[in-house]
Chains A and B, each alone.
Chain A
Amino acid sequence: MEALTQLQLAFDAVLGLALLWLAWQTLASPELFRAIVLFIAFGLLMALAWVRLEAPDVALAEAAIGAGLTGALLLTALSRLEPKNKSKIPHSKKPESEVDE
């Protein structure tokens, strides 16, 4: 019993920390697209958190609305916004390239 509780505690701790960190990264991201992807990831983890809180129905809503639909809507919104914002807000400090090393 003891070991099982500890494992569950470890799971909850990792989940909680990852959520906090993701939330912070989402808010702090200067790049809108990255913020949206982080938000989708946040929604997925949040659904897992609801599961751990024994609320599968809320988890269902979170997965469907939070991660799926809101993510898609935000991406669509971004594609509408982008041309106007391009001149005002710098996207990222260095230009992206397709090969990292």
Chain B
Amino acid sequence: MSVSDIITTILLIAGAAFFLVGTVGLLRFPDVYTRLHALTKADNVGLGLMVAGLALQAESWAVVGKLLLIWCLVLLAGASVAHLVTVVARQRGIKLWKR
């Protein structure tokens, strides 16, 4: 097992942990807005770490570029969808959760 393999292992496990956290947040958080927080942040970081881990194993630079492209697309999609849902949820008058 080479050094890059070890780094990949760590990054993949960390990424998977963030995905788990995203799901936990989706299940535990009390309203739409807070769930959006969990989704956009945890998932994008999770995917980012996984992409970094897989990029270390990639066979060519083009593959690294493609992995980064996928991550950027998901980032853009996540941020835009979060914003759209928040705007419409506020227009619909869904109230903020209060303790």
| Chain A interface (Cβ < 8 Å from any Cβ of B) | 98-101
| Chain B interface (Cβ < 8 Å from any Cβ of A) | 30-32, 94-95, 97
Given A98-B95, A99-B95, A99-B97, 6 more pairs with CB closer than 8 A:
A98-B31, A98-B32, A98-B94, A99-B30, A99-B31, A101-B30
| Closest chain B CB from A9 CB (angstroms) | 20
The distance in angstroms between the C-alpha atoms of A100 and B95, with both chains bound, is 12
**With a CB–CB cut-off of 8 A, which chain B residues contact A99?**
30-31, 95, 97
10 A-B contacts (beta carbon < 8 Å): A98-B31, A98-B32, A98-B94, A98-B95, A99-B30, A99-B31, A99-B95, A99-B97, A100-B30, A101-B30
The distance in angstroms between the C-alpha atoms of A98 and B97, with both chains bound, is 9
The distance in angstroms between the C-alpha atoms of A36 and B94, with both chains bound, is 22
* Chain A to chain B: the 8 pairs with minimum beta-carbon distance, closest first: A98-B94, A99-B97, A98-B31, A99-B31, A99-B30, A98-B95, A101-B30, A98-B32
The distance in angstroms between the C-alpha atoms of A99 and B34, with both chains bound, is 12
